[in-house]
Structure 1
Amino acid sequence: MINFLMIDDNPIEHIIMQKMFDKFHLFPAASHSLDARQSMDLFERHYLIPDLLPDVVFLDLNMPGFSGWDFLNSFERIYKQIKKAIDIYIISSSIDPKDRLLPKKYAFVKACICKPVKMETLLNLHTLYQSIKRDAS
């Protein structure tokens, strides 16, 4: 099973995403967080316990307080110590070009995805991670 975490301050985004997951039976172990700081705390507490961490993270950049950028900078400090591969996908409705380019400097950021996230994108990602899990077994 693929562990998925979505970090976004907009609860509507979570509802929409979960409805798509439910409709197409994707990511049954999906977790949702409205607070990037709390999510970072999870990684800082459990970075040596891979089963407690997600495989895939969808991260919004523009959030109040501890932003997606803050999360990326904090995650960069610990990700080499994490005992499993964790892929982060930036999800954003921003039209600022630097919001597409700057995240690519982080090795763990796999892509930037425009909101609203298309069903085809989710299906492709689910298929990709299912095959990775099968190959690892």
Structure 2
Amino acid sequence: MSLIKRVVLIDDDQVNNFVCESIIKNEQFAEEVQSFEWAENALDYLKRVAEQQPDAFPNLIFLDINMPGMDGWSFIDEYRLLPEDVTKDCCLFMLSSAVDRKDIISAKSHKEVKDFFSKPLSPEILSFIREEFICE
């Protein structure tokens, strides 16, 4: 039973995105999954959706920290500028291979970030998100 309509993955690792998409689909976690290898492209997409189809804004975003070009921190800075009435129902999670405690603390200090998870995404992480953040 899928509770989430749309999930967006933002990670420069194409293989990781493929694995994440597969896990999300196999666990029937979301109806739609869209991946972006460039945070700038994801941000452009989110801006367009927020402006043209706010009801189609993703319910959940998995964001990597270390990416070429715009990294996860810069993405969050720009994400904050999107209309709050559109983003308020979207859960943003950091999903990163970064193990630096400073990154974890920094991620959790951003009000937009619900939690930080270490890669790889797993059915257990999805189950935790369902239990802790998604209301039926």
**Normalising by the residue count of structure 1, what TM-score does the alignment of the two structures yield?**
0.84
- Work out whether 1:47 is the aligned partner of 2:50: yes
Deviation at 1:71, TM superposition (A): 0.5
AA paired with 1:75?
Y
Q: Once structures 1 and 2 are overlaid, which stretch shifts more, 94-103 or 40-49?
A: 40-49
Contact kept? 2:27, 2:123, Cα under 8 Å: no
Deviation at 1:103, TM superposition (A): 1.8
Query: Which residue of 1 is the match for residue 71 of structure 2?
Result: 67
| Aligned counterpart in structure 1 of residue 34 of structure 2, from 27, 31, 36 | 31
CA displacement 1:49-102 (0-9 Å, x = unmatched): 322210100000100011111101111222525264111000111121111011
| Aligned counterpart in structure 2 of residue 91 of structure 1, from 76, 82, 95 | 95
Deviation at 1:23, TM superposition (A): 2.4
Distance in 2 (alpha carbons) for counterparts of 1:119 and 1:95: 20
Query: Which residue of 1 is the match for residue 114 of structure 2?
Result: 110
The size of the alignment, in residue pairs, is 132
Q: Classify the secondary structure of the residue corresponding to 1:30.
A: strand
| Aligned counterpart in structure 1 of residue 84 of structure 2, from 65, 80, 87 | 80
- Stretches of structure 1 lacking an aligned partner (at least 5 in a row): none
- Stretches of structure 2 lacking an aligned partner (at least 5 in a row): none
Sequence identity percentage: 25
CA displacement 1:82-136 (0-9 Å, x = unmatched): 264111000111121111011223212100001112221112324556x52x4xx
Q: Classify the secondary structure of the residue corresponding to 1:82.
A: helix
- Pick the structure with more helix per residue: 1
4+ runs deviating over 4 angstroms: none
Contact kept? 1:47, 1:81, Cα under 8 Å: no
* Change beyond 3 A, Cα 1:83–1:64: closer
